[in-house]
Homo-oligomer: A and B are copies of this chain.
C-alpha cells in the first residue's frame, strides 16, 4: 500500500511518519489538506503495525495552519464525503484522535481556528516558545469553534480559561498556552524539533498493543463525544449563514484574509476594528 498526497508531504522512518502540512502559505483547512487527510487516515489504519507515531508539522514558515478555508466550504464538504457519505468535519478530526498511532503536533508558527482544532485532535502538542501563536478567532466574526475546540479546550484548561480563550478571540503565545494547558509544553525553538524527534522515535519502539490500550482506555472517558462535536459543527454552519457573520467575513476578505499578508498575522486587531453590523 502506498500513499499519494500533495498538500501533506509524508516521509516514514523507523516507525515514525512525519506528515508536513504543505499547503503554503497558510495551510488553510480546505479541500487540499482535507483530501489528503481523507487519504491518510485509512492508510495509517492499514499500516498500524509499521507506523507507530505520526508527527504533524508545517512547511510554511509562519503558519502551522491559519484556519478553515472559508471560501471553499462546499469543496471541502465534497472531499469529506469521500471519507464516507455525510462525513462531518468533526468526524474527520475524531478519526484523527482515534488512530492506532500516537499523533503529535509540532507547532512553530501561527495556529488558529480549525487549524488549532486539528492540533487539539492530536494526542500531544509541542510548540516553539518564540514562534508559535494560538488563536480561536471564531467568536470575533460571529462563529464558534465548531471543529472540536468547544469540546477539547474546557477539558484541557477548565471552564474559565477555555471561555476566555474562545470569547476573547485573541492571540495567546506559547508560554501562556503552556500555562493554560492548551499545549503539553513550550520549548525553545532550537530544541523543539529534536525533542519531538526523540520522543516520537522513543514511542515507536514500544509494543503497540500497550499504546493502543492506553489510548483506548483514556479515550473511553476523556475524548469528546463524536455527536457532541457534530452538534458544534452544525451550530457553526447555522451561524455562518447569519448576516452579521457574512458581513464580518466579507470585510475581512476585503482586507486580505486568506492571503499571505498582514491581515492573517493580526486577526485579533482586525476583528476588533470590524464595524458594528446590524445584529
Contacts and interface: CB of A to CB of B under 8 A. Distances in A.
A158 B120 CA distance: 12
B142 A206 contact: yes
11 contacts: A123-B164, A139-B210, A139-B211, A140-B206, A142-B210, A160-B181, A163-B215, A164-B199, A169-B202, A207-B245, A209-B239
Contact of A184 (B124, B140, B160, B220): B160
A231 B216 CA distance: 12
A187 interface: no
Contact of A244 (B164, B168, B207, B214): B207
B217 A125 contact: no
Report the contact-size class of chain A (Cβ under 8 Å from the partner).
35 or more
Interface stretch (A19-27, A83-91, A251-259, A270-278): A270-278
Given A124-B164, A163-B124, A168-B199, A206 B139 contact: yes
A162 interface: yes
A2 interface: no
Contacts of A208: 279
Nearest to A235: B213
A109 interface: no
A223 interface: yes
Contacts of A7: none
A222 interface: yes
